[in-house]
Structure 1
């Protein structure tokens, strides 16, 4: 992918995740959101202290989006209870990243935010 396309995607993802984050800094200490993006795979995760060791901060992924350059398509995955990624069948793919993010935000079937 060209650098300018990667930058646009990074900006889009950053804005999406920023909108998920709690405004109150005290709440962010207990629950926050972050992401990783390598130009092909996006993971969105919760950031929170471990329940049994609050001094340890954990990143718990709940969304994976993968870009397939050869098909110009983004595919959406959700984390099952068995900790395996599964294609999100109600709306598994789109050629537009923004559409995938809308599906995540809507979370019609409770797969992303519980």
Structure 2
């Protein structure tokens, strides 16, 4: 079972506000942009770009993910490494609220999310 409809809308609103604050300026969004998706028990942040060879093909590149662990009532934070696998974000592997995940993304202590 995934998030309730209420939780889904709440998390979408929260992430939408955060992503909007991080998006590049409108004139270059057709070349690089940010987005997110809320699914199952996860919230994922990703980059959106056209393929370098065929610009009609849009690609997404995952940046960060928070997954809610219902049995422990916390969010696990992951980042996408160059091996294209999710890895636990070591400085803050778990947080108690989605708002705290956003704070970890913004701080990016290790430079794993935004470089």
TM-score (norm 2): 0.90
Q: What's the counterpart of residue 34 of structure 1?
A: 35
Q: What's the counterpart of residue 95 of structure 1?
A: 96
**Residue 77 (structure 1) shift:** 0.2
Mean CA deviation greater in 2-11 or 100-109: 2-11
Counterparts of 1:88 and 1:37 in 2: how far apart (Å)? 19
CA contact (8 A) 1:33 1:47 kept: yes
Cα RMSD of the aligned pairs, angstroms, is: 1.4
Deviation track 1:38-95 (CA, whole Å, cap 9, x = no partner) reads 2511111101111222221101111111011221111110011111100101101111
Mean CA deviation greater in 49-58 or 68-77: 49-58
CA contact (8 A) 2:34 2:45 kept: yes
Unaligned segments of structure 1, at least 5 residues: none
CA contact (8 A) 2:11 2:38 kept: no
CA contact (8 A) 1:6 1:39 kept: no
**Residue 35 (structure 1) shift:** 0.9
Counterparts of 2:10 and 2:105 in 1: how far apart (Å)? 19
TM-score (norm 1): 0.90
Q: Where in structure 1 do 4 or more consecutive aligned residues deviate above 4 Å?
A: none
Counterparts of 1:39 and 1:81 in 2: how far apart (Å)? 24
Q: What's the counterpart of residue 67 of structure 2?
A: 66
Deviation track 1:12-61 (CA, whole Å, cap 9, x = no partner) reads 1111111111232x210011111110251111110111122222110111
Which of the residues 2, 8, 11 maps onto 1:9?
Answer: 11
Q: How many corresponding residue pairs?
A: 113
